[in-house]
Amino acid sequence: MSSTLDLQQAEKSPVAQDSLLVLDRVSKSYRLWHRPHDRFLYGLWNQVPPSFPDRVRAFAERRKAKLGAEVFGLSEVTLSIKRGKSVGIIGLNGSGKSTLLQLIAGVLQPTTGDIQINAKRVTALLELGSGFDPNFTGRENVLLHGSLLGLTEAENRARLPEVLAFSEIGDYFDNPVKTYSSGMVMRLAFASSITVHADLLIVDEALSVGDVFFQQKCYHKIRDLVKGGVTILLVSHDMRSVGEFCEEALLLDKGRIAFFGDTIQAINQYYTISRAYLRPSPSSGTPPKESTWKVTSQAGIHQLEPIHENNRTPSTDAAAAAFLGFALLDQHGVSTNYFHQGDWLRLIFEVGIASDLENITPGVILRDDRGLFLHGKYEFQLDPIKLRSCKKGDVFRVSYAVRLDITAGFYTLSLAMLSIPATVIREGKLSFADFEQHHMNVCGTGPITSFTVSFSPDRLGSNFSHFGTFDLPTRFGIEQDEFFG
């Protein structure tokens, strides 16, 4: 009898046995309440039972609609996560990542839909230490935390030595948390969270705090937990840690699932989405006034995108020269913003000259998604040193190519032009000290375009060429010992 019941139960529920977490059309809408008590009135109108006459229900609906504007944080998210997986959750700001985590952690309730968690225990590293009571000692807080998560008193006490060892806070353990430094609070909270034997661990960029050694320790610990079969949800803007940690990734865009599956594909899609947002909208601001410079249309086979004069330095027409337009191409000359590791990137840009200039040299600057200067190269840095001279009214195009031996990510390009007096170049050589002292900036730009580099599908062996930012020329071999070999 009971076995039939179980079978029926199993048939009814769409949940596979190994699914740890199932979200069924989960939506969370926020209302921007005009006043806090509007939320209370909303709750009251919500109590109108469905058995009431339509007229009454319609009235209640109208009253509810007046109480605040509805904003969707998350809509119709359906998702199933298997036990033991480590899943990254990525998306731009405001895409609903944190809302999703808070729903799974149980801090927020879904507006509609159903969340099923088949976990014995869930811990969330949402904001480390935010649940601690500053008046309690570290020990008391750890015990309270464990008790909140349903540990028995014996289990709770048994984990104290491990917490103490991992957090490295020593004698402070029995001092009130309000006397701790912020780093100590974070370490204690992390140590407490990972020792509760949770089977679902939710991490929300919590690890971006603390010194680098403790961060590494945390990542090691999380790796161990993953090996031990703990399911991990990691929310991060850092694609490197997502790529490193997660077997699967969930990409959210405007509160909806844009992609769920292979991490690398998800990261690539993330960059595609972010690129669409990064393009400045043409309608924004005042319409650009008629510029003295026009991108030449007669020469060349490539259509150039104009560089807006607000993006030029100096931005006045009085500049001696200006960058006018550019085209970003792949190695086959096709216009693109999307590259694989090891591909050649080609950039064609157009320069307009407003007064006679001698000994100028154009350059291109590569920055990463955080604006960090990664690489800059001017034409003069190629061998032999080559400087150009131009006449007023000249317009010419420069072609630049670079091999993208860099890690997968999101990058921007900027342009610059220098002039270097010919006198400091002696016998075809230029020292760094002379360059620093004598070079002059002619003109430049802010980031003119962005592009994405993803792991190469065509690469032999591993699809990632190296770790770290740049790939350096590298050789490996076995050293033969000549005497004893």
Partner 1 sequence: MISFSELSKHSYLIRQYLRRQIALRYKSTALGVAWSLVNPLCMLVIYTFVFGVIMHARFGLGNGETPIDYGLAIFCSLNFFNLCGEAITRSPRLILLQPNLVKKVVFPLEILPIVSVLDALVHCVLAFVPLLVMVAIAHRTIPWSFAWLPCYLIPTTFLALGLGLFLSALGVFIRDVENLVAPGLTMLLLVSAIFYPLSVVPDSMRFWYSLNPIVIIVDGARRSLIWGIPPNPVSLTMVTLAGAIFAFLAGAFFLKAKPAFADVM
133 to each of 129, 130, 217, how far by Cα in Å?
9, 8, 25
Nearer to partner 1, 152 or 355 (CB): 152
The C-alpha atoms of residue 114 and residue 283 are separated, in whole angstroms, by 41
**Residues whose CB falls within 8 Å of the CB of residue 356, separated by 6 or more in sequence, listed in order:** 389, 390, 391, 392
* Burial bucket for residue 38 (CB in 10 Å: 0-12, 13-18, 19+): middle
Residues of the shown chain interacting with partner 1 in the complex, contacts defined by CB under 8 A: 30-31, 33, 36-37, 39-40, 43, 105-109, 124, 126-127, 130-131, 133, 135-136, 140, 143-144, 147-148, 150, 153
Nearer to partner 1, 121 or 240 (CB): 121
Nearer to partner 1, 179 or 303 (CB): 179
Considering the complex, what minimum distance in angstroms separates the CB of residue 126 from partner 1? 6
Considering the complex, what minimum distance in angstroms separates the CB of residue 182 from partner 1? 14
Nearer to partner 1, 76 or 140 (CB): 140
Considering the complex, what minimum distance in angstroms separates the CB of residue 348 from partner 1? 51
Nearer to partner 1, 10 or 148 (CB): 148
Considering the complex, what minimum distance in angstroms separates the CB of residue 402 from partner 1? 45
The C-alpha atoms of residue 180 and residue 175 are separated, in whole angstroms, by 8
What is the residue type of 299? A
Nearer to partner 1, 25 or 37 (CB): 37
The C-alpha atoms of residue 426 and residue 204 are separated, in whole angstroms, by 57
Secondary structure letter of residue 85 according to DSSP: -
Nearer to partner 1, 127 or 356 (CB): 127
Considering the complex, what minimum distance in angstroms separates the CB of residue 89 from partner 1? 18
Considering the complex, what minimum distance in angstroms separates the CB of residue 160 from partner 1? 15
- In 3D space, the residue among 401, 261, 430, 396 whose CA is nearest the CA of residue 339 turns out to be 401
Considering the complex, what minimum distance in angstroms separates the CB of residue 53 from partner 1? 24
Per-residue burial over 326-362, b if 16 or more Cβ lie within 10 Å, else e, is bbbbbeeeeeebebbbbbebbbbbbbbbbeebebbbb
Q: Which two tokens stand for residue 417?
A: 């032009």
* Strands ordered across the beta sheet of 200-204: 122-125, 200-204, 231-235, 86-91, 248-253, 256-262
